[in-house]
Structure 1
């Protein structure tokens, strides 16, 4: 602080003016003027004053105020003025000496005052700066954010600013005089004592110290201490600057803990932390570096080239490219975060794969500072990933090589992987996965049930299993067994993945369905042996399993297809089909459809039917084509019905309104159905044949009984008459019964011979005595035996035989049997007065024998069956044809035994028949007379022969001409027969029987009993006699030519005259059904031949 005197002599305005140059020099000029005035006012009057005495004070005043320059200026001006105003007067020598000294003394005074002024100004300035500094220091100390604490050498507080007191939770005044240890923890005092002993407090130092606040809490400070020395440089005390670092310490602790955790974590994951300081060229690596690569980071330099040399050669180019990319980004000022992966050489010589993640550090202004990052050893992970990829590749290879569809999906069940089989099957693009793709492939009928089941399994984690149809890329559906199972987290139990497969079970499914379907067919077909029922069941079962339509066509006798069954779910469509088919039928030569399949035996599959196919299959049937087209047949499949290489017909299937199409996959099932259907049809036919054979057997037995009873009746009657003649009760000539016995016994022998021949043939026991014979001679001889029958039937027989021998190797007896059987068959099945032609001719290698008639003819279906045993073309009760129905069987068997063949031809019923026998020809015999004429023999209708034959000759069962005379002789003795017995109630008896011997014997016996008897040998004649004669009793044979006994009985009952007539059936048919039929026809009694006369007598007398 300036003193009061200094303030007086050096007030502020003076100090301020001194800093102005014009003020200092102006003051010097003023001092000069004042000195001149003083000189003039003092020195002149007072001559005693010298210039030194008058002028020097003003020079000193100018120098005091202005300094040396202004003082010198004042000195010079005063001296000049003094010289200029001396008027040339010399002053005394002493005065001259003083004047001479004035100038140097003034200059000295000016210089001295200037120096003193400068010293004073400097002192003022220094004092001012010191005051300002003190003010600034006090301001800094009081406003500093750090605490300032000074202590003496005894550690007592000499000063503490407010911030220091605030940090310690007290006041500065409370701190003054208190020792430092009052604010230290006990354990820290030892550290302070050690520092005092080491003399650290006497030197500047910095440390982090912990103090105790007034409330007992700890607080950390960064203490920067400076000793306060005395003038003699001795330690007087310490000034300490305290910065609160408690928060930083906490952050550092947290950072250290975090760093430790990160270090531990990086070491746990086999990694380390690094930092690259670009300015210092240093690289810091954490201790994990040793664990990862086996090197001690402390021994490594920061040379980046060492690191580059450790990188695998194959990875260096990529590493350098990444580094260059980072540099480019840094140069553009981008924020750079990077990830890089490369292999580095381990200390043990192996390579480790490192995953490097880093961040570019920038300094102030965004300048590149360095890199910081972390490195993880991912060698094991990459090896596992490689193994996983290999495993995945193996899995995909395995999955792609599997025939099943394999898929995997997320926990939600949405697929995210599908194997190659899926894309091959579905036709979808590779990599196109998703739940919607699967839904689009499922058959609409299976979708909802599959979705419900799948959603349930996804929600519950249950295994999924279902069978559903999936559409392939061609739009066709196939059955798949779909299964899926979840993979669970072993800890949480949550679903991690779904793995599933879809196995094509279409073949198994269809096979199972087919087997079930075929089993059903087998059961139904096995339960029926009726042909028509079998056909209907076959077609009905096939719809709709194998088509909207099913048809069956069988071959007829001409090997042409004949539609026999059709099925559809709608009956009206079936009716419309039959209407169309009856209108058009089949074209046997059609190139498609049933005619083609039956003709070739080849299956026909038409996957898509078009109009051109209809025109080809149905030429000229445009309206039918239109109707069929409207029916919507879009795909057809026709398969032959074949059994043991024989084509029975064909079965056809058609898709129409369902919109489906057949494929070759449907062919095996259709063929299997056809095979089973063919077997069923064949079985039905065989069963029908068996039934027919059984019926024929029954009929044969009935015929056999009838055929046997007819001769037996005659024999029985003749035997009875002989007994009566021996007893003398009859006048009949003995020759008549004997002749009847002879004829009927011969007839029985022929019947037995035929039966034996058939038996031997069927058992393969017959033997042929082959020799070279003339076929023509055998033919003539055989026809001689048939002539009586032909004459009796009044047939016109024409024989066309070459005169030269036609030699064949044959058994003469059996060859004659063939000829006679065919000629007899023609005679029997040709109405009276018919024409029969027998011819013999030769071909290149065969002798051909033909028998042709214009008789009853044959139905087409009978042409193949007439050769069977016991078959006749028209089995009726009239027995006009006679025989057992085994003649043609013998012909066929004997012909084939001779190495020949036999055929039957007929244009139909009523159009006659032609039978052809061809036998191997002996060539040498045919070459003798190739131009010989054919001998023609015609049996003329001579009146005498014809009349006798017509009246007296029947078939091989009838009486001869002489026998007729014997019958007439018998009638001549009627007058000698006694009258009827007293018990007889009926006197007139009509006998109607086509067996003349039987009728003759019965007539003789009745007449012997006193009855009036009339005889008729056919039904029409008998009916006429009954109406005209009106007998009391009529004995009627049932099986007669033309009108049989049943017809006669019914007509008699319908007439008034026949209502009361007793009708008795006498027949060879003795089955219970025959008796019932007789009663229904109107007979009163039924007697079976041979009739016992005593039994007949009882009936007549009843």
Structure 2
């Protein structure tokens, strides 16, 4: 028996099969390693899941998802749209990308994106499962995009509400990019120099210097303001801040800043400043007008007090008028002082002052008022060598004003204490009373001009706090501070004045306040006095007062009169 056979060389076939098997294993490994839902589809559009991610994502076996079962997991509102688009792609044989919502195993819908493409053989024919696709969870990307859009919307709304303009200056090209209401606006012709030319001449140099320092890597502090001359009849005020942005190598790249239109605010500031100036002028004029009738009244009262034969009852009435006129005079003088300080017309005459002497002098000046109210005052000057540098007259005015305020708001038989203490830096003068005190809500306002304290039926001394406003301004001119404390209504008040202590001084140049007054017994020779005043009542009464002192007085009422 003979056997006939044919031997074929199948090395190439085996090699091709091995390569095909390796390719298939690589494909399956790739499919299993991806987190996407991998699937294939036939010519009718029915799909077949290709990896286990389907079951992990939906919690359902892959067999139940085959065919059209996957549609049950799409969001109801998306189902019809997805189904129609998928059939259109099958009919046309073109790739497609769809975005829709798909239910996860925990019943939560996720945003997914499906990509599908047809698979053709070498002859251009569709294979058995001719469609290949992936479905990927893109929820994080959509949430991030939504957050960016929401943030951009909030920024745009904020820019529109605040009228903010974003500005960037490219340092190399020296060109500007504006962003208004979130929309960039590029002007090819608007270079840095052209933009700077629109700035007010008084502001351009300062703005240019600020930006150059910033471009050089320095960090100018604070905001900058400038005026823009877009309209020849109206200036536009802008306020902004800027930062320097660097490139990856740390080199200056661009300046980014934001600008806010503050024109309305500036116009309001100018109006308020003008109103304040006019108010100060009015107060000064009012004080002068009030002072004119007060002067002859004070003189007449002084003349009446010289009458030794006056009846006791009339003498009491004259004393009453004297006290009230003096009170009105202090108010008017305070108004004048506030006006002068506001206008910068007060210059301090500074010299070394012994604090103890100043305190005793102020107490002496207010002693009569306290005695009339049967008030008790205690003075404790622990450091008799504490000196300050100040204006003698103004320091006396400060202490007298505070003491007068304490006496005015302390009832009869009340107690007022004055004490001093010093450290290396400051000298403190503390004035405490057992008066009516002040409520916590009014305490921060006691230094405001014309702030009004609470008025009650048993408190006739309430009124406008001009004195404390004046005191605060004078103390600040001495580089000192003043604080007011009160536990509450009816519990008294404590005022603390702190002034810088003077260490190095020439003691012989110090002026003792008690030595400034001339001796009462000193005699003066009779003088011939000429009184020139356009206020006839003031001139006549002043001449009468001079004559009561033994002088010879002549009055004229204008510079054109002869004498």
- Provide TM-score, normalisation by structure 1: 0.26
Structure (1/2) with the larger helix percentage: 1
More strand by proportion, 1 or 2? 2
Name which one, 1 or 2, has greater alpha-carbon Rg. 1
Report the TM-score, using the length of structure 2 for normalisation: 0.46
Q: Which has the higher contact order (CA 8 A, sep 6+)?
A: 2
